[in-house]
Structure 1
Amino acid sequence: EEALQINSVKMKSKEQRRWYIEEPENFEDAKTEECWRRAMDDELGSIRDNDTWELADLPNGHNAIELKWEYEVKKGAEGNLVKHKARLVAKSNVQDQGVDFEEVFAPLTRMDTVRLLIALAAQESWTLHHMDVNSTLLTGELEEELYVKQPPGYIQEGEEHKVLKLQKALYGLRQAPRAWNTKLDSTLISLGFEKAPLEHALYKRGEGSDRLLVGIYVDDLLITGADDEVIANFKLQMEELFKMTDLGLLSYYLGIEIQQKPEGIIICQEAYAKKVLESCGMKDCNPSHVPMKPRLRLSKKSEAPAVDATEYRSVVRRLRYLTNTRPDLAYSVGMVSRFMEAPTTEHWAAVENILRYIKGTTNFGCVYLREKKKEMVELLGYSDSDMAGDVDDRKSTSGMAYFLGGSIMSWLSQKQKVVALSSHEVEYVAAATAVCQGVCLGRLVGDLTGKEPERVMLNVDDKSTISLWKNPVHHGRCKDIDTRYRYLRECVEESKVDVNYVCTDDQLADILTRSLGRQKFVKIRRRIGVQAVT
């Protein structure tokens, strides 16, 4: 009963959240409202203009897939109404692999790569642009023979017995994202683009001042390059090939607010953070100075009363998305994510403290300053770990942060998969993850800029770990991890990575491995570039 009372105070019910977003659940609820009727007419108009289907009799041996309407209220960064969107979706749960579809995977630009493009644009003084493809998945061409039933509310009189034979993909089909990606990939290649070998949703074209980079996230195109005229010409090319919406300079992307200023580029999720607080009933809570109390230890064996696991997971999932622009939240959110199976009031208290910290820092984000152009691209990393911080299985937490031109653009706070036997092995395991990420980032930066990157610089605050890499005499001390982490020594020997010692006070990855006191936490937060941006 105590747990239920806590949840009822802290969180909104599902019915309240549904009322808040003002979205009907089915066609019967939507058909009486003019705004949703117009949205459905527009959707069907786009489908017909695209020659997505044609009326046909259902052949023997084929099943017709049912269609349903899904409704969404499109809102801007400030929560203002943009438009009512109705989408016709196929019920793909009846599709069988090998019969109705084969391959379904479609690559997306990773969030690390999005931040890399932003950091690169800031360093090179480029502008970022945004385009959106209308009715994205409807342009993909199908290889399979598929039939669907006529949509609810739009069944043609006299043709009720007929079905629709699909010529192109439809939302909800398992193969629709792949069909669209295949279409877009072939289009960009025909325009002279080349796919980045390390990021299959990233494309490049031209050299020098004609350099153009395009990142793909389903129907969103993130575009940047050295020359605005080259970007404008590319936009015209895309508008001739697809129904596109030119959104101009990038200002809002995947829930992230972007400000492009002469002195640099700023990213934050202020509007999203406020929505998280409101949905959790924490809009008017008292703020906290740190996201997690120092030396706090949480356990799966907690004997405190249980809380609603579904609601707990829902809040944690929202917090995890907020870490896309908030490395200062990465450790605390990662910690509470370990208890999603059976959360208790102790775990919820930790989540509540994170929310109170967000209350006082809703306008915080990452700043990417414009710097003088350099001959070489500088990539600087930090690697750190705690020691057996998990009280249940005694595994440690790895922390990693990479900076491009002095601005943080990649970070990680993750529990290690092995139990290390000593502090230098813990650091070695953490550094292994950091080296792999650093080498990959260095190759990607060099590929995108056309410049040969400098060796990745990695700062570690443990001299034993550095000796373990550089001095073969020490290798006998780590036979248990020798095979798995041999790659590290090869990177050092081949000069792909330069490892340096940094004192603990200057170890910026410390914020990703443990809960810190207020003074040290604020100091590191400022040094990694997380600050108030509005």
Structure 2
Amino acid sequence: MAKANVQEQSVNFEEVFGPVTKMDSVRLLIALAAQESRRLHHMDVNSAILTGELEEELYVKQPPKYIKEGEEHKVLKLHKPLYGLRQAPRAWNIKLDSTLISLEFEKAPLEHTMYKRGKGNDRLLVGIYVDDLLITGADEEVIANFKLQMEELFRMTDLGLFSYYLRIEVQQKPEGITICQEAYAKKVLESCGMKDCNPSHVPMKPRLILSKTGEAPAVDATEYRSVVRKLRYLTNTRPDLAYSVGIVSRFMEAPTTEHWEAVENILRYIKGTSNFGCVYLREKKEMMELLGYSDSHMAVDVDDRKSTSGVAYFLRESMVSWPSQKQEVVALSSRETEYIAVATAVCRGMCQGRLLGDLTGKERVVLKVDDKSTISLWKNPVCHHERWKHIDTRYRYLRECMEESKIGVNYICTDDQLADILTRPLGRQKFVKMRRRIGFQAVK
């Protein structure tokens, strides 16, 4: 193990960044495999970090118990990276990337850890997360041949069908693929001392208002941050927690008992839904469409009056992306709030749509908005010039996308707005109904 703390930039290393697949892309790959009635396979590279190639000239002291007698003053020159070196993950990624390129794979321009090879039934898709390889394709023989190729080049472990990945449990069934984090959720409850708590029906009480300026007593900030970080990791498979966890994440600097009570309510909700997860059904259709929903909640933050944006994207009926986040600027009207949310949705949709096009050759993105004035402003900016000129110019990117037919926009009534669950705390009945409609349900 090398001591990274003694390395100096521009002396011992230059670049250290090593890309990994984003969770949105992993879910897109899972949804794509499900809808194309394909199976996902999993491989792991043994001691991957030690396999890379060093670009720098590095020396290390002789390790204890292996010091050569009479040459104690000498050092060892590294030919391969060691665990702990800052540039080791990047060196491994470069090695794996060059290997896959040599095997005639093409790298996705927008997701540098997603690769494709072949056409038709011979097409193979591979996603990379450090030393884990997610593999899917129409022909099992093509997948088997690729595994043999990789085993000849690296020391690999064939983990068979994709079933466990970064604390995410995956089940591949004839009717579809499910993902959940039941074991991790139970571990979080146990670590918080709430293993036997009474369950709650919703993660956050309706009309709950939290503030940084309250007079409630302070709580241990370190413990609060630790619990919230664990909850944030649960949102990788739980869109039902995206809004509530996003809210409690805003108070990590100086949390109080009011904020802690909100966290405890989330934990009680997890207690009753630990076996819930996302379902990706095997419903093959000719139209490969990325369908998005955009919604917002104006001035919901009482401290700075910034609004909240919620965006949900589905590959046909399978939910693959669900960001819920506070807007960066203060909106002056509900129309501006919606417009900012739509801009966020378009940017995310364009990235995922292009990735889908890179992997399948089919790219179609449609966004549904429940505000007609926003759609009118988008389609006819000249007619409302005096009303919208105060909006930051970066949101005019939407107009360009519309003119070039990169994305379609349709109106949807508020009752059918599936992103509503990402922008505000809902009552029990509406929350359960919305949760079911987005494809989040008990999977075990």
TM over 0.5: same fold? yes
What are the residue-to-residue correspondences of 1:95-494 with 2, within 5 Å? 95-152=7-64, 155=67, 160-374=72-286, 376-450=287-361, 452-454=362-364, 456-471=365-380, 472-481=382-391, 483-494=393-404
Show the counterpart of 1:495.
405
State yes or no: 1:520 paired with 2:430.
yes
Unaligned ranges ≥5, structure 2: none
Q: Aligned in 2, Cα 1:154/1:519: closer, same or farther, shift over 3 Å?
A: farther
Higher mean Cα deviation, 257-266 or 145-154? 145-154
- TM-score using structure 2 length: 0.98
Whole-Å separation in 1 of the counterparts to 2:121 and 2:63: 49
* 1:449-496 C-alpha deviation (Å, 9 max, x unpaired): 12x323x11111111101101123023311121512111011112222
With over 3 angstroms needed to count, the CA separation of the structure-2 counterparts of 1:163 and 1:485, relative to structure 1, is same
- The answer for the alignment partner of 1:529 in structure 2 is 439
CA drift of 1:93 comes to 1.0
SS in 2 for 1:277: helix
Counterparts of 2:428 and 2:178, CA distance in 1? 25
Please tell me whether the aligned partners of residues 225 and 231 of structure 1 are also in contact (alpha carbons under 8 angstroms). yes
CA distance in 1, matches of 2:289, 2:429: 29
| AA at the equivalent of 1:381 | G
Q: CA RMSD in A?
A: 1.2
**Unmatched runs of 5 consecutive residues or more in structure 1:** 1-88
Deviates more, 1:248-257 or 1:154-163: 154-163
Q: Distance in 2 between matches of 1:335 and 1:162?
A: 56
The 1:258/1:154 distance shift into structure 2, 3 A limit, reads farther
In the alignment, the residues of structure 1 paired with residue 32 and residue 316 of structure 2 have an alpha-carbon distance, to the nearest angstrom, of 8
CA spacing shift, 1:155–1:405, aligned 2, 3 Å: farther
Shift of 1:153: 5.4
- Over alpha carbons, which structure has the higher Rg? 1
Partner AA of 2:367 in structure 1: L
Hey, what's the Cα distance between the residues in 1 that align with 2:299 and 2:159? 48
User: Between the two proteins, what is the percent identity of the paired residues?
Assistant: 84
State the partner residue of 1:76.
none
Matched length: 443
Read off the aligned partner of 2:284 and give its amino acid letter. Answer: K
Q: Give yes or no for contact 1:141–1:168 (8 Å, CA) kept in 2.
A: yes
Residue-by-residue CA offset, 1:13-32 (whole Å, 9 max, x unaligned):
xxxxxxxxxxxxxxxxxxxx
- Does the CA contact (< 8 Å) of 1:137 and 1:170 recur in 2? yes
Helix, strand or coil at the partner of 1:523: helix
My pick for the range that moved more, 115-124 or 492-501, is: 492-501
1:295 Cα deviation from its structure 2 partner: 0.6
The answer on whether the counterparts of 1:290 and 1:521 sit within 8 Å (CA) in structure 2 is yes
Separation of aligned partners in 1, 2:110 and 2:58: 34
Cα distance in 2 between the residues matched to 1:373 and 1:519? 32
How much has 1:519 moved relative to structure 2?
0.4
- Which of 487, 492, 506 is residue 416 of structure 2 equivalent to? 506
Runs of 4+ with >6 A deviation = none
Cα distance per residue 1:211-244 (max 9 Å; x no partner): 1111111111111111111110000000000000
Any idea what SS the aligned residue of 1:481 has? Answer: coil
Provide, for residues 49-74 of structure 1, a one-character-per-residue CA deviation record: whole Å limited to 9, x for no partner. Answer: xxxxxxxxxxxxxxxxxxxxxxxxxx
TM-score, normalised to structure 1's length? 0.81
**Equivalent residues of 1:475, 1:482 under 8 A apart:** no
Question: RCO (CA 8 Å, sep 6+): is it higher in 1 or 2?
Answer: 2
Mapped to 2, the partners of 1:350 and 1:462 lie a distance apart of 31
Change (3 A) 1:130 1:314: same
Report what 1:16 is aligned to.
Answer: none
